[in-house]
């Protein structure tokens, strides 16, 4: 239905829930392709400190460690119920390889030809950026990369808010209406 209105869909999936088995990766990849999601992101279930999930897994003795640098949704930091942590990490890597393969990108292309070129451009740009993020994650540089991006985003947001305030002020001055008093 969204595709019928020209809306692209980015699905975000969390892998490693207690009900997930080793077939979750193939089933999820097939669903993404069948539904022609233009983009999909995947995350390993991560029990962040202070959350009910963290407390439960800690009480069950399923946390593997408390190396907070690996609590990044790209590493298994707990023992899943129906697979090994290694199975979870290798399945996570496999689903990214599969869905960002040339064949899968082509299978998921929009049906309307005018939308194909923008879709392919976006898909290949995203595919390239995943390699960069993988590099940053492996070298523990995510925080160093995020900090300037967040600051840039914050500065742009502040400029946008100032512009909106200036425009609203200019409009308010021109919209003064007498109440007849």
Q: Can you give the pLDDT at residue 149?
A: 74
Alpha-carbon span 63 to 78, nearest angstrom: 4
Q: How many CB atoms lie within 10 A of CB 169?
A: 9
Q: Can you give the pLDDT at residue 173?
A: 61
Q: Can you give the pLDDT at residue 61?
A: 99
pTM of structure: 0.71
Q: Can you give the pLDDT at residue 181?
A: 45
Alpha-carbon span 20 to 88, nearest angstrom: 10
Q: Can you give the pLDDT at residue 176?
A: 52
Alpha-carbon span 106 to 83, nearest angstrom: 31
Name residues of the chain where pLDDT drops below 70.
171-181
At 133-179, the pLDDT tens digits run 778 777 887 778 778 877 887 888 889 889 988 888 776 665 555 55
The DSSP annotation for 109-162 comes to: --SSGGGHHHHHHHHHHHHHHHHHHHHHHHTT-HHHHHHHHHHHHHHHHHHHHH
């Amino acid at each position: 239905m969204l595709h019928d209105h020209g809306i692209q869909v980015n699905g975000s999936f969390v892998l490693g829930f207690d009900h997930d088995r080793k077939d979750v990766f193939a089933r999820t990849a097939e669903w993404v392709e069948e539904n022609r999601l233009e983009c999909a992101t995947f995350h390993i279930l991560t029990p962040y400190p202070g959350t009910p999930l963290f407390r439960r897994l800690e009480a069950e003795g399923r946390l593997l460690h408390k190396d907070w640098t690996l609590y990044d949704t790209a590493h298994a930091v707990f023992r899943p119920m129906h697979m090994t942590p290694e199975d979870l990490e290798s399945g996570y890597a496999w689903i990214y390889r599969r869905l960002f393969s040339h064949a899968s990108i082509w299978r998921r292309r929009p049906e309307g030809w005018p939308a194909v070129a923008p879709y392919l451009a976006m898909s290949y740009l995203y595919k390239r950026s995943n390699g960069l993020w993988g590099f940053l994650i492996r070298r523990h540089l995510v925080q160093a990369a995020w900090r300037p991006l967040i600051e840039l985003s914050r500065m742009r947001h502040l400029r946008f808010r100032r512009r909106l305030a200036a425009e609203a002020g200019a409009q308010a001055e021109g919209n003064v209406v007498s109440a007849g008093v």
